Amino acid sequence: MILKTGCSILLLTAVSTVWARVPEVKVLIGKSLAEVNVLGTDLKKTLHYNKSSQQFAGRKMIKFKCQAANLKRPELLASVSSPTGFISWDDSKFQGELELVKNPKTPNCDLINKVPMDSYIASLLSKEMNATWPIEALKAQAVAARTYAYQRINTDGFYHLESSEKDQVSGTFLDVTQRTLQASKDTQGEILMGPTGKITPAFFHSKCGGKTYRPDQVWGGMEDGYQQVECPFCHKTGMKPWKHELGKAKLTDMFDRVLSKYYSDKISNRRDIKLLKDSADRTELRFYSGTKLHVVKKSYLRNLFGRELLPSNNYVLDVKGGHIEFAGHGYGHGVGMCQLGALELAKRGYTYKDILAHYFPQHQLKKIY
Ligand SMILES: [Zn+2]
């Protein structure tokens, strides 16, 4: 294993924010990097593989060349911190520390940002919502995102969350605005708990298009306290009702792929496919291949065939002559809080507690730190 470091001087503005007793979140911000250059003031570099530490006075750039092909498992190689609380990487400024971990699949490193929870939330609000939205909508989003992150803190591994749509998209310190900071501070330590007192991930999405879904209706797993709720609030904004047509022959291939991927099954009679009547309140499609009845989740078609064809799971599939038609509403998976619905409720004067109570009616708001 070779881990080389070097130094050069660049500028960094030192700013400091104090957070008391706030848990830290480890966020994966860079994947499989051959080289990592970090910049900061009075940086402390720790190389974990040989247990050595070094402190650099003034503003410095530390360069890491990551070639650790002999390590097959992830391992913490190095960490960098600054007494200012800020470090820059890839022209972006991050609060907290940066950690380099061996990527298990390549000779390269993953980069992880260890950041105070509420600082993480303040940067995320600009990415997952919009910093200019009403403060009560931002506060509802802050609680939902904090709940999602907090639930992941106790998981094993070198990081808790990815900064991607797989988890939540968090920004950098440059995405923190006075309003997102306010929304994070005003809800500090607040999370949602399910009716049995369990912390469950509080999911959210862009636009439900009329109603939300429970996790089991979309992904299959049951989460504590989720309920499907009506949302007549989001229809005026965001993506308009959408419609897509495909040749009828495509349907057989689509069903065949869904059956083999999610149900370990296949179509027994490709020439004799009959779709049973679908409707907006159904989350599953039913069809016969020959005499065999199949039932598949609508969301699995979206997973396999993409968001361009199926922007949401809220759609109706119909066979019309020689083609099939997907007609739907909304954008996103549809589970939990509808962000455009939250926007409309905030505009109407609802507080963040009212908004959360609408989308998570069985959950309780708890302040845990
Ligand atoms: Zn909605």
Instruction: Quick: pLDDT tens for 262-310.
Output: 999 999 888 889 999 999 999 999 999 999 999 999 999 999 999 999 9
Closest CA to 16 of 200, 213, 178, 173: 173
Closest CA to 146 of 185, 190, 109: 190
**Encoded amino acid at 55, one letter:** Q
Q: How many A from CA of 353 to the centre of ligand 1?
A: 17
- Could you give the 3-state DSSP secondary structure of residue 128? helix
Q: How many A from CA of 218 to the centre of ligand 1?
A: 16
Q: How many A from CA of 273 to the centre of ligand 1?
A: 34
pLDDT at residue 7 is higher than 70: no
Percent of the chain scored above 70 by pLDDT?
94
Quote the CA–CA distance of 316 and 60 in Å, as a whole number.
58
Q: How many A from CA of 204 to the centre of ligand 1?
A: 10
Residue-level length of the chain: 369
pLDDT at residue 20 is higher than 60: no
Q: What are the residues facing 81 on neighbouring strands?
A: 44
Q: How many A from CA of 129 to the centre of ligand 1?
A: 14
Q: How many A from CA of 25 to the centre of ligand 1?
A: 29
30-80: pLDDT as tens digits: 999 999 999 999 999 999 988 999 999 999 999 999 876 567 778 899 999
Q: How many A from CA of 344 to the centre of ligand 1?
A: 9
- Please, which pLDDT band fits residue 201 given cuts at 50, 70 and 90? confident
Q: How many A from CA of 210 to the centre of ligand 1?
A: 5
pTM exceeding 0.95: no
